[in-house]
Amino acid sequence: MSKGMSTLAISEFIHEMYAMEISATEISRITESVLPAVNEWRSRPLKAVYPFVFLDCMHIKVRQNGTVESSAIYNILGVGKMDDANA
């Protein structure tokens, strides 16, 4: 599920932006195939402490309810110490 756009709307957007044909059915198949990995990543355990944390914000224009509004997108990156298990 794409939360906010239908598979047909995504298909039409891709066609308009990239002149590429991809069916709504294919969009749905792709979405369903990556969903387990996305859910696994979202529910992964986080460390208690990150020695370095980088914060950034981008402001973009978003069309909502017939008007264009500025919206913030926040990016947060925590960098932890590499332990022997991750080396």
Helix, strand, coil share of the chain (percent; to 5): 40, 30, 30
pLDDT, position 16: 92
pLDDT, position 4: 74
- pLDDT tens-digit profile of 20-66? 999 999 999 999 999 999 999 999 998 888 999 999 999 999 888 88
Residue 73 Cα distances to 39, 41, 51, 59, angstroms: 21, 19, 23, 6
Reply yes or no on whether the pLDDT at 85 is more than 90: no
pLDDT, position 1: 44
C-alpha–C-alpha distance, residues 58 and 20, integer Å? 28
